[in-house]
Structure 1
Amino acid sequence: MSHPAPYPVRLADEIARQLGLLTAHLAQLPPHEAVQVIAHVLDPDHGLLDGVTGLMSVSSTFAKTQAERGALPAEVWLALGRATNDLDAIGGDLDEHRAALRRVGTQPSTTAAMPPAPAPLVIRRHR
């Protein structure tokens, strides 16, 4: 008799499945609704990106402890730490755009008398 996967593993599988569904829905949504979803994903207090960053941070801490015990290679801990830092940096890069996403997401979905002007897709980053 096989043992079912422990609850946290099933939870991780379910979250991955739900993210796949969200991705599929996002690809099909009208622009107004898609922007709302993206704004929720990037919400700094309850968003998916922050949640995944937190999960990776806890994973990195766990891996560090295990690496110190010799149960995991140090490279695993370092890779998880880099992933955490990269996700945090991505969140920081997106911070300045959250207000624009919220603003567009709260506008009525009716077409305006004057459509917005297209923006150039190649811009220089400022730092």
Structure 2
Amino acid sequence: MSHPATYAVQLTDEITRQLVQLADHLSQLPPPQAAQVLARVLDPDTGVLGGVTHLVCTGSAFAKDAAERGTLPAVVWLALGRASNELGDIALDLDEHIDTLLNVGTQPTALTAKPPAPAPLVVRRRR
């Protein structure tokens, strides 16, 4: 049996590899499928973002204990605590848009040739 720390490091490397692979797939998906994948990724309860937030919260608890024992600087615990709070806030902000992403992913494709109007953020001025 391998040492648990070794397994955790290997698991971390594998998850990182899979996240890169997921991002590569996401960039190649048609918009409706990409929207559905994003909705699942951003789900604060069952998605990747929720999992990362939980992981950082767990890391913050570890850092607090280590800081109290003097084996880790308190600023590390404070930074992890701040990061977990910020990730939680981001997850809540994005949670508001999951239904929109799911709807984009389930809308039937229009048969008309008229493309959707661009959002004002992507409209370019011509000189």
TM superposition score category, shorter chain reference: 0.7 to 0.9
CA distance in 1, matches of 2:101, 2:6: 38
SS in 1 for 2:120: coil
CA distance in 2, matches of 1:68, 1:107: 53
Query: Are 1:87 and 2:80 matched, yes or no?
Result: no
SS in 2 for 1:116: coil
CA distance in 2, matches of 1:58, 1:43: 19
Point out where structure 1 has 5 or more consecutive residues left out of the alignment.
Answer: 123-127
Provide the identity percentage: 64
2:58 corresponds in structure 1 to 58
1:28 corresponds in structure 2 to 28
Cα distance, 1:70 vs structure 2 = 0.4
CA distance in 1, matches of 2:46, 2:93: 17
Point out where structure 2 has 5 or more consecutive residues left out of the alignment.
Answer: 123-127
1:37-48 map, 5 Å? 37-48=37-48
> Would you say the 8 A contact 2:44–2:50 is kept in 1?
yes
SS in 2 for 1:53: helix
1:125 corresponds in structure 2 to none
Superposition TM-score, scaled by structure 1 size: 0.84
Cα distance, 1:29 vs structure 2 = 1.4
CA distance in 1, matches of 2:28, 2:115: 22
Q: Which of the two has greater helix per residue?
A: 2
> Would you say the 8 A contact 1:39–1:105 is kept in 2?
no
1:69 corresponds in structure 2 to 69
CA distance in 2, matches of 1:96, 1:116: 23
2:12 corresponds in structure 1 to 12
Aligned-pair Cα RMSD in Å: 1.9
Count of residues in Structure 1 that have an aligned counterpart in Structure 2: 119
Superposition TM-score, scaled by structure 2 size: 0.84
